[in-house]
């Protein structure tokens, strides 16, 4: 994990492996995943021999991360981190200002790390999460996360209280399998308290209230992707703050040029967009 300054220079570099293996549970999860891949991959012995030996002190930090990425398997990135968020101090003291929240998809775990101390502040997910994406710390101290549910065939949104590790709120479809996003996707809390959910493989996003009512939805379908159903129609939809949207609508040419330079997907003849509000 690399921290950059405003000029793009590297201020610090940290190893996820060093931080995670400071705690016995994440360390065991990593070792178990390596063992599973070793059992399923007859050519893993050479890679296994390069793994770290704690007594020798060799193969630390970035080198270990590279070795873990190179292990056989699909996907092969054992420490795949699909979210990194720098945190404010937790109101209950679970973590401190500047700690980071990470999502480790292959370990089915979210964790808060003190990178400077190379230590684990908090973790959650084994036995509950499956291929999760986009955890975020909410102002009250809870954590919101999109549980893809890859292993069980249904996705859900969870809110966890790190002080007790309890699930304090969740959203599932009715029936549950109506929301299943095996890859990508995510969720975010909107300023008014509603939750925006990205159902990536279905090419849709939905906004739900705290009492689990759907109040808005968007559907995007691309004709060219109809033969590649295993891939996502979109990666994630995110809310744009009202002032930013107003600037783009208001004819600010430099702002529009900047937005155009950042956009990586454009609507074309084979993309179909359906917006609807739900009473």
Q: Model-level pTM?
A: 0.79
Residue 46 clears pLDDT 90, i.e. is over it = no
- pLDDT of amino acid 188: 97
Residue 179 clears pLDDT 90, i.e. is over it = yes
234-254 average pLDDT score: 73
Q: Determine what percent of the chain is predicted with pLDDT higher than 70.
A: 70
Q: Catalogue the long-range contacts made by 36-43 (C-beta closer than 8 Å, 24 or more residues apart).
A: 37/71, 37/72, 37/73, 37/76, 37/78, 40/72, 40/73, 41/71, 41/72, 41/73, 43/72
- pLDDT of amino acid 77: 79
Going by C-alpha positions, the residue among 30, 34, 58, 53 that lies closest to residue 45 is 34
5-17 average pLDDT score: 91
- pLDDT of amino acid 3: 87
Task: Using pLDDT thresholds of 50, 70 and 90, give the confidence band for residue 54.
Answer: very low
Identify any residues that bridge with 164 across adjacent strands, giving them in sequence order.
none
- pLDDT of amino acid 148: 97
Listed in sequence order, the residues at least 6 apart from 74 whose beta carbon sits closer than 8 Å to its beta carbon are none
Residue 229 clears pLDDT 90, i.e. is over it = no
Say how many CA atoms lie within 13 Å of 260 toward its Cβ.
6
**Tell me: the pLDDT tens digits for 102-127?**
999 999 999 999 999 999 999 999 99
Task: Using pLDDT thresholds of 50, 70 and 90, give the confidence band for residue 231.
Answer: low
- pLDDT winner (highest mean) among 134-143, 218-227, 234-243, 247-256: 134-143
Better-scored residue on pLDDT, 161 or 8: 161
């Amino acid at each position: 994990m690399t921290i950059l300054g405003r000029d793009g220079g590297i201020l610090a570099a940290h190893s996820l492996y060093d931080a995670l293996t400071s705690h016995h549970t994440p360390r065991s999860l990593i070792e178990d995943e390596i063992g599973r891949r070793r059992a399923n991959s007859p050519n893993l012995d050479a890679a296994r021999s390069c793994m770290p030996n704690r007594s020798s002190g060799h193969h630390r930090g970035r080198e270990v991360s590279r070795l873990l990425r190179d292990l056989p398997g699909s996907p092969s990135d054992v420490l795949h981190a699909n979210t990194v968020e720098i945190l404010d101090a937790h109101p209950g003291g679970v973590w401190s200002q500047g700690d980071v929240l990470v999502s480790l998809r292959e370990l089915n775990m979210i964790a808060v790390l003190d990178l400077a101390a190379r230590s684990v502040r908090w973790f959650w997910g084994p036995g509950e999460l499956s291929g999760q994406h986009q955890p975020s710390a909410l102002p009250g101290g809870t954590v919101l996360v999109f549980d893809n549910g890859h292993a069980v065939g249904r996705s859900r949104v969870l809110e966890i209280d790190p002080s007790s590790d309890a699930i304090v709120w969740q959203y599932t479809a009715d029936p549950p399998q109506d929301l299943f996003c095996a890859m990508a996707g995510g969720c975010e809390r909107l300023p008014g308290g509603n939750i925006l959910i990205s159902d990536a493989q279905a090419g849709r996003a939905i906004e739900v209230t705290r009492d689990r009512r759907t109040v808005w939805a968007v559907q995007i379908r691309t004709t060219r992707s109809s033969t590649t159903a295993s891939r996502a129609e979109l990666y994630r939809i995110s809310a744009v703050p009202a002032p930013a949207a107003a600037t783009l609508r208001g004819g600010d040419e430099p702002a529009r040029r900047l937005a155009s330079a950042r956009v990586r997907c454009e609507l074309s003849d084979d993309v179909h967009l359906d917006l609807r509000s739900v009473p």
